[in-house]
Amino acid sequence: MLKVLIFIYNAKIFEEKIKEQYPEFIVKSWSSWKDCDDFIEEADILICYKISDELLRKAKKLRWIQLLSAGCDHILNLPSFKKNIMLSTSKNIHHIPISEYVMSYVLSICQKSFDYMKLQKERKWVKIERLELENKTLGLIGTGSIGREIARKARVFGMKILGVKRVQAQVEFIDEIYGIDNMDTVLSLSDFIVLSLPLLESTRNLIGEKELGKMKSSACLINIARGEILDEHALVEALKNKKLSGAVLDVFREEPLREDSELWDVENLIITPHISWAGEYTVERLTDLLLENIVRYLNGEKVKYLVDPDVGY
């Protein structure tokens, strides 16, 4: 009899669906750290976004972790994670809300929406020159399912799409693909740069002072990947010194962002609390994937989006 532990906020939705399909399972959910008990010591399957190393160390019988996130670095980097634990992600689930998030800010920046909101509060009737997306260049550092969906939406506006990919190969909706060794070319040509790649040892601190210096002073950087990929202090300096036009950050090295962080007060920096992944139908898509993978697991089939720990995704 399988024992399933669900550890997420509002876990009851997933718990009810699993119990409905598999009444013979023993299913328990935690919604916060204070709910933790010894059930993890008996669990066969763990469904979560993240978990502490302390709790994972107690999971002696754990056979499979189903992540509800697309990234898995936060699990692979835990000292107690063992390669004999099967790990799968929720790839191809979050690309719709994230791509809409990115394009909403690209459009808002070009249309000067935030400037007009400020003027409205000041009761000022001032006209500002707006930008057009037609023929602007979008650079995608990372061309997985999220990057491809951003590219698909951006093409509708007539943008030129450049991509940086670890293994150089053509990707649908992207005009030109560059290897990681030629990332500087993409940085220098792009009007918008979007970080949409996984966090690996090779991508940690990938974008620093040198890389930001390669970008156009009129360019905007958007990070929806991982905070550790970007040198936040270098970004602050680039924005303060007008070496970069603006930035949108949804992910940070430390979350939640501290109240005393220097990021809060930087002009032309937009901050959101790691919400780009969450869309109207995200839970519905996650539930469908979860139930499909449970069927695969029970039938001895390969679950979808299985992680290779040696590769990192």
Annotated catalytic residues are 226, 255, 274
For residue 229, count other CB atoms closer than 10 A to its CB: 23
Q: H or E segment at 286? A: helix 282-298
Number of H helices and E strands in the chain, helices first, is: 10, 12
Q: Are strands 192-195 and 176-178 parallel, antiparallel or unpaired?
A: unpaired
Q: Which residues of 233-271 are buried (b: 16+ CB within 10 A; e: fewer)?
A: ebbbbbbeeebbbbbbbbbbeeeebeeebebeebeebbe
Cα Rg, the chain, nearest whole Å: 21
Residues 6+ apart with CB under 8 A from 168: 177, 178, 179
CA distances from 4 to 72, 138, 206, 295 (A): 20, 43, 37, 14
**Residue whose pair of structure tokens reads 């036009």 in the numeric block:** 245
CA distances from 168 to 29, 188, 198, 309, 313 (A): 42, 19, 16, 22, 17
Indicate the burial class of 58 (C-beta count within 10 angstroms; 0-12, 13-18, 19 or more).
Answer: middle
Residues 76 and 60: their CA atoms lie apart, in Å, by 17
Residues 235 and 266: their CA atoms lie apart, in Å, by 10
Give yes or no for a contact between 232 and 263, defined as CB atoms under 8 angstroms apart.
yes
